[in-house]
Chain A
């Protein structure tokens, strides 16, 4: 037992002093199905079970709900189940692991709840086939029944059930596991922390989910009372603590700055869910020193106004989870003894990010502008009388026009030759048109020759290189330099 208790302490995460503002109560918005449902038990309404004879003699309590309420008035203690109805709940308990399909001699407790108050409780023992039944039960839909089995120190609770309309029989099945000392081979698969700004805008809601995996086909227990204990620390300004599903809420207790869970770890997934508020939303630190291996630690930030600063958590990558946007920081695996810590800061703004950029953009822009301006202004800085300052004249314009006309008529001649070859032109038209264009080309060439000799060009007409006076060939491309271009 001592060893088991010591084993259970490995589940202690870390300690910090904190205060509760409100006692733990049901986690809003979460289904409150208890862990016992994960073991596979389900309600099978309508199936007949073994009848149990009603107790001899005695007046049955009133059959109506009002009558029961009256009966309960002034009484704070659970009473035996009111036996004034036709309802029958049959219970069967099996153990899959040990290959014994049935278990006998187990205590099954049936509790009836009306309007949040326990109105009755009864205990029965399973027979050699693992069966027992509760009879003469009120079947009104306002009465909720819960069944609990305790096996080897582990409590299994069936989800609450009510009798559907026109149904008087219900079957419950429990699949139980043998229990053994913690920690076994259990490990924490992941710790997920979600940060969301409160509707008031003045704080952040922190939701923590621990996924503890028990791969063994037995429930793990430990400690002096056969329970596993671990503690969770909270930030100093945490408030509005709420504990959610996954573990039996009646096994949660608080004290000395520690949230204790005292209960078994069932086979498969065990989920611990809790949430609390932290005010203000930024500037606080989350710390956990883990004394066992943690495979993965995630922080999901739902609001872009928050940033997580951490040395052990990397990321900040956006994650689109079914239409919701999250920023995800993650780390792991973490060895025992690791400190997982992060600080929640305000997110950087675009203007802040731009601020530093503005100062470094100016020098670059100035340099670029300077170089470009020098490049552009260089020609203007030349003396006006340099060799490059010759401008076009009317003579040059006329020369180019004649050259264009010459080329056009020569091109027309070659096209006419091709058209005649392709039978697109009659012979008479061919000779007539060819003669006309040839004469026009010769006239253009004659006019070109009659123009005054052009000055030595300043630029090579082929490659554009600036020429020196007297150049006969271009130094770059080798083109012959002729007067007039």
Chain B
């Protein structure tokens, strides 16, 4: 019953989505609010229907209903139930259902929240989002159906889930990323509605600010979860490989970051309207592109892409939305031109422009690197490969410039920064950051860890440390100034004044926290310049040296679970006389999936990670291991946490909003 009902529900959701769009247009054209209200109800009903469809699919996973091909392909009876439930997004078909569900939910939420205060925009928001929903539902019904039945005999068991996906990080990575992708559709829809209704003021921006920030937050979480998973699960010692699928998630994040910043300029100075319209479209377009890249197999092989029809449908849809946007955008271009202009090269507005261009530059680098290989292969027959060195060579300097801007922008004034103002706001940060960096370099040289002459990577790392310190001091001074002004006006303690800043202006100070998080992450990225790696052959009882650590072969054992069997090598880690604990390195064989995985052992501190990989373990106990020392990796995760915290603060309400004015 389940599969058939799920299929019917998808059809019904399709009908409701089409109806919602048609009713919304009717209501807007005829100015009859009955159709308007009916369209809104259709949006709510679509969400409920898709909850049902997704619920049926999740239930099928939990109940081991292998009569459904999607369930048989991605689950098994011995799969832990938690991971069985995440099978919803284990493959393409279920991912499309998840996309539809999240889109329906966010549409219902956005419509509900704005059905009164944006009454003239809402119909066109519904139309835009319904078009997107119809596309994804058509894919599920006609191209990649999640409720397709197996033909012939009922399988006794499923094929299981890729063991590497059986990890908490990877369990949450797809849904967070999808909330981010789908979340980009809502501000785009409001932007399109603004173009259609010629409401080119900042209303659509203000209405979607929080939703945009939420989408950006989930994109950030999804990207970081993916990086963390790669670090702990894939066992190659790093967290970012500039893989096309990784890049796909970063593309909309870059434009969303630019959009979030330049939206502030439109709100404050009624400028950057063209930028914002283009950025919100690009963000949505790139989120569709990211979904396309992940699911179509295009970057793996143009041939595999061509063999599957879904890629062509995505391309068709992207062309459709591109054409629709361009028609509206070009038609409204005169109205989008700003009345005001940037008054000074050194001003907050100008720094946002530089920020936008730098992020666009990184985007171009990513697009060329991600699509260059399949396109060159298709056009010339020879693939031009773009790997880590290409991305690092171009993105590191751009990233450092963006980081510097992250420090300049908060401290620089709107409209024009005078020399006195610049001196007041930047001298101290420059001095402190330079002094700090000099101390780091001198210490590094003394320890033999830094070589600025011979190593370009070390030079970039030092630049990053300097930029990060600069930003941290600027942000610290901003907090101090705010707390000091607060105490002057209201009295109270210094910590109390600091905390009250978040309540008074959550957007600004939450943003500063986010910037601090970015600083921490860049510090972590810079640590890559000092990675070291060694490989050792060890016999039982032997001790080897890996950097400052001593690794002693403490023993080995067989391990056995219901889903896998394996071997574990135990290494005792010490530094000097200090015992740092025993760590287990494993190789596992998963029965159902017929796959072998490596489970690494990681000892993390703020200073560095000791990363241990088991390469092989022979019958006689001889082990080959790889030991990596990865400095500052923890700062990446710490910075991610700070970024999330800062965004949550920035999502808070302002006093004006609490009073009901805004």
Contact = CB atoms under 8 A, between A and B. Distances in A.
Interface string A285-314: 000000000000000000011000000000
A21 interface: no
Contacts of B5: 361, 364-365
Contacts of B4: 354, 357-358, 361-362
A378 B37 CA distance: 9
A412 B202 CA distance: 14
Nearest to A430: B413
Name the residue among B2, B153, B656 with the largest chain A CB count within 10 angstroms.
B153
A292 B648 CA distance: 71
Contacts of B417: 424
A166 interface: no
B376 to A, nearest CB: 41
A419 B153 CA distance: 72
B425 A424 contact: yes
A407 interface: yes
A360 B52 contact: no
Interface string A415-450: 110110111111001000100000000000000000
A439 to B, nearest CB: 15
A404 B207 CA distance: 12
A347 B1 contact: no
Contacts of A397: 120, 199
A372 B413 contact: no
Interface in B358-372: none
Contacts of B38: 376-380
A368 interface: yes
A365 B33 contact: no
B446 interface: no
Interface in A133-153: none
B606 to A, nearest CB: 32
Contacts of A362: 4, 8
A318 to B, nearest CB: 4
B276 to A, nearest CB: 14
Interface stretch (A174-182, A206-214, A387-395): A387-395
Contacts of B44: 375
A392 B31 contact: yes
A327 interface: yes
B416 A391 contact: no
Chain B: interface size category: 35 or more
A327 B151 CA distance: 20
Interface string B1-23: 11111001100100010010000
B480 to A, nearest CB: 10
B203 A349 contact: no
Contact of A422 (B2, B478, B591): B478
Contact of B481 (A361, A364, A423): A423
Given A361-B4, A376-B45, A464-B115, A408 B34 contact: no
Given A354-B4, A372-B49, A401-B201, A392 B267 contact: no
A350 interface: yes
B591 A320 contact: yes
A119 interface: no
A364 to B, nearest CB: 6
B203 A425 contact: no
A422 B201 contact: no
B412 interface: yes
B592 A320 contact: yes
Contacts of B481: 421-423
Contacts of B420: 426
A332 B184 CA distance: 59
Contacts of B155: 304
B3 A357 contact: yes
Interface stretch (A94-102, A221-229, A454-462): A454-462
B505 interface: yes
A375 B156 contact: no
A375 B414 contact: no
Name the residue among A350, A401, A421 with the largest chain B CB count within 10 angstroms.
A350
B413 A424 contact: yes
A323 interface: yes
Interface residues of A, number: 68
Contacts of B35: 379-380
A376 B12 CA distance: 13
Nearest to A425: B413
A375 B412 CA distance: 54
Contacts of B9: 365, 368
Interface string B559-574: 0000000000000000
A404 B415 contact: no
A348 B34 contact: no
A469 to B, nearest CB: 16
Nearest to A390: B33
B77 interface: yes
B52 to A, nearest CB: 7
A348 B154 contact: yes
Contacts of B157: 318, 325
B270 interface: yes
Name the residue among B77, B150, B154, B661 with the largest chain A CB count within 10 angstroms.
B154
B334 interface: no
A388 B34 CA distance: 8
Interface string A11-23: 0000000000000
A316 B119 contact: no
Contacts of A320: 591-592
B546 to A, nearest CB: 36
Contacts of A464: 115-116
Contacts of B67: 350, 353-354
B16 A351 contact: no
B77 A380 contact: no
A453 interface: no
B156 A325 contact: yes
A405 interface: yes
A51 interface: no
Given A354-B149, A391-B33, A422 B482 contact: yes
A354 B149 CA distance: 8
B69 to A, nearest CB: 9
A459 B660 contact: no
Given A423-B421, A424-B425, A426-B418, A350 B31 contact: no
B303 interface: no
Interface in B615-662: 656, 660-662
Contacts of B81: none
Contacts of B548: none
B199 A357 contact: no
B523 interface: no
B451 interface: no
Nearest to B482: A422
Given A305-B153, A424-B412, A372 B32 contact: no
B153 A421 contact: no
Interface of B: 1-5, 8-9, 12, 16, 19, 31-35, 37-38, 41-42, 44-45, 48-49, 52, 67, 76-77, 115-117, 119-120, 149-157, 199, 201-203, 206, 267-270, 411-418, 420-421, 424-425, 478, 481-482, 485, 505, 591-592, 594, 656, 660-662
Given A354-B4, A365-B8, A382-B34, 10 more contacts: A317-B77, A357-B3, A360-B1, A361-B5, A364-B5, A377-B38, A392-B31, A415-B414, A418-B505, A419-B413
Interface of A: 304-305, 316-318, 320, 323, 325, 327, 347-351, 353-354, 356-358, 360-362, 364-365, 368-369, 372, 375-380, 382, 384, 388-392, 396-397, 400-401, 404-405, 407-408, 411-412, 415-416, 418-419, 421-426, 429, 433, 459-462, 464, 479
25 contacts: A304-B153, A316-B156, A320-B592, A323-B591, A349-B153, A354-B67, A361-B1, A361-B8, A372-B16, A375-B45, A376-B45, A378-B41, A384-B34, A389-B34, A390-B33, A392-B119, A396-B120, A408-B202, A408-B267, A415-B414, A419-B413, A422-B485, A424-B412, A426-B420, A459-B116
5 tightest Cβ-Cβ pairs between the two chains A and B: A391-B31, A357-B1, A318-B157, A379-B37, A361-B4
